[in-house]
Amino acid sequence: MMTAVLADRPYTVEEIPVNELLVDPRVQREHFKPLKVEKIFRNYNPSALGIITVSRRKDRGMYILDGWHRVEAYRRLTDNAGTVPCHVFEGLTLEEEAAVFLDSNFRETPNIMDRFKVQLTKGDPKSLEIDRLTKQYDWTVSATPANGNINAIGALGRMYDLSEKLELEPHLIQIVLITITRAWGHERQGAQSVLLEGLGRLWAEHGEKINLDRLVETLRDFPDGPYGLHQAASSVSRSRGLKVPMAVADIVTERYNRGYSNNSRNRLPIWRLR
């Protein structure tokens, strides 16, 4: 099937040696699936190999846009010495290559991190802004579990959409990242999806009512830090029937209010009643 991006672009049909085919992680999945390759290898059917979509770049490098797993299986079958039929396009920009990957994989949706990475290469405004906002506070969106990395691209996307809908300033992603970074540094546990989303909902609900310094201290003083908060929220979620991010907002609200009298204007409304 020809993708929408390539529908009107001329191409050549060529038999390309598999040892010449390359992969650029900017326009492909971050992780390839060995089990999928194994399945293709064990059940190899020449008629099912299909056509590989390839971009020939200015440096003459041949980059796979669609068919990576099929090529890898065929490498194994031919000891990396065979050829495969390819539709070869020339003159594509990196953004067009990324768009081809997304179009070609509509039936097998890439995982959310792969999709974000390729959308970033494609120049998608939402992905570019999420990337900019996270890097602004020395965080990196990545599937690798490490300090300084945010794996929760889904939560970032939902916060982005909510912030845009409510026209919040500063942006919800900004204020949440400021909050967790001041509280816990770049500890990866602090960037868990449920914590990001729970704090995002809290800021979206109360905005200027929240004293940032007090909220940071509330989080910093929580027993066992972000891990402890996640565990406590999971327990509240089970006992009260709340979603875990909402349980995070509930717990943080209760601890934030400690020390304020019931009629204090500085208190936040009880979260679970909202």
pTM of this prediction? Answer: 0.65
Per-residue confidence (pLDDT) for residue 34, from 0 to 100: 84
Token pair for 113: 């991190």
Per-residue confidence (pLDDT) for residue 158, from 0 to 100: 94
Residue 106 has pLDDT above 80, yes or no: no
Per-residue confidence (pLDDT) for residue 273, from 0 to 100: 55
Whole-angstrom Cα distance, residue 35 to residue 26? 22
Residue among 161, 156, 164 at smallest CA distance from 196: 156
Instruction: Kindly report which listed range (26-30, 51-55, 219-223) carries the lowest average pLDDT score.
Output: 26-30
pLDDT band at 5 (very low <50, low <70, confident <90, very high): low
Residue 4 has pLDDT above 90, yes or no: no
pLDDT band at 274 (very low <50, low <70, confident <90, very high): low
First to last CA, the chain: 50
Per-residue confidence (pLDDT) for residue 25, from 0 to 100: 84
Q: 84 or 105: which carries more pLDDT confidence? A: 84
Q: What's the average model confidence in pLDDT over 106-130?
A: 81
Q: 19 or 112: which carries more pLDDT confidence? A: 19
173's CB contacts (< 8 A; 6+ apart) are: 130, 133, 134, 156, 159, 160, 163, 200
Q: What is the CATH number of domain 12-111?
A: 3.90.1530.10
Report the relative pairing of strands 83-90 and 12-17 from DSSP bridges. antiparallel
Report the 10 Å Cβ neighbour count for 216: 17
Residue type, 179: T
Domain boundaries, the chain: 12-111, 124-273
Q: What's the average model confidence in pLDDT over 78-102?
A: 87
pLDDT band at 226 (very low <50, low <70, confident <90, very high): very high
Whole-angstrom Cα distance, residue 92 to residue 247? 48
pLDDT band at 199 (very low <50, low <70, confident <90, very high): very high
Residue 264 has pLDDT above 90, yes or no: yes
The 10s digit of each residue's pLDDT in 31-71 is 677 888 888 888 888 776 788 999 999 999 999 998 888 99
Could you tell me the CA-to-CA distances from 248 to 107, 124, 216, 262, 274 in Å, in that order? 36, 31, 14, 21, 14
Whole-angstrom Cα distance, residue 139 to residue 147? 9
Residue 186 has pLDDT above 90, yes or no: yes
Whole-angstrom Cα distance, residue 252 to residue 69? 46
Per-residue confidence (pLDDT) for residue 180, from 0 to 100: 97
Per-residue confidence (pLDDT) for residue 241, from 0 to 100: 85
Mapped onto helix, strand or coil, the DSSP state of residue 43 is coil
